[in-house]
Amino acid sequence: MDSAADCVPVKSNDWNYEISCYDGSRFTVDLRAHTCSCRRWELCGIPCKHGMSAICAQMLDPEDFVHSCYLVQTYLKVYEPAMMPMNSKEMWEKDGKKGTRRKKETKMKRQSWKVHCKFCGAPGHNKKGCQWRKFAEEFPLDEEEQRSQPQVPDEMTQRDDVPVQEVDTQSQPAEQTVAATKPKLTFMNMLPSSKAKKSSKGGKRLLKDDFL
């Protein structure tokens, strides 16, 4: 009611008013529809200051323009039936079984393979971590020692078996049977004795087990 003093109602007809405020704003009020352009009257059901200004201009009772939900008769009608008692929430019926987690899709296992060294051909390490390569760089072979090493064809080093010469055991005795064997060429066999061990005077002998 006090805030309505800041509004100046301008009558258009018996139900429509234009409300001018001191801050320069203007609103329209419809007393028959219980509406105002500020929309506060429609939201809360109680006339706003613009509606109160129009109601007071016609010397009407403001309670006639309040929504019926605020009336005492409405409250009495709502709570007229008896309110049934209720148990505490601990005794309420619980929901069904909780849903389990979503099953994850099966994933394909990653294919694994063994690493083979390009220098010595052994599995389990690469060329960078090869002990044979480090040893070869520390004790390189001389030109004379390289020429003295036997040359083995690539086919023999790559194959695990060598064909055996067929001999007729009936025509020749068993002692004369000759079998071709593969000469095993390893890196340690290629090392000369002068590089494989040092002098006995305070020197250290290098063994094959140190690099395996």
Q: What string of DSSP letters covers 152-191?
A: --HHHHH-S--PPPP--TTTS-GGG-----PPP--HHHHS
Per-residue pLDDT of 99-143, as tens digits, reads 677 777 777 777 777 788 888 888 888 888 888 888 788 877 666
Q: How confident is the model at residue 1 (pLDDT cuts 50, 70, 90)?
A: low
User: For the chain, what percent of residues have pLDDT higher than 90?
Assistant: 26
- C-alpha dihedral sign at 198, 199, 203, 208: positive
Q: What is the pLDDT of residue 180?
A: 42
pLDDT of residue 160 exceeding 60: no
**Structural tokens at position 83:** 């309110």
The whole-number pLDDT of residue 138 equals 80
What pLDDT is attached to residue 66? 93
Report which of residues 13 and 196 the model is more confident about. 13
CA distance 193 to 49: 114
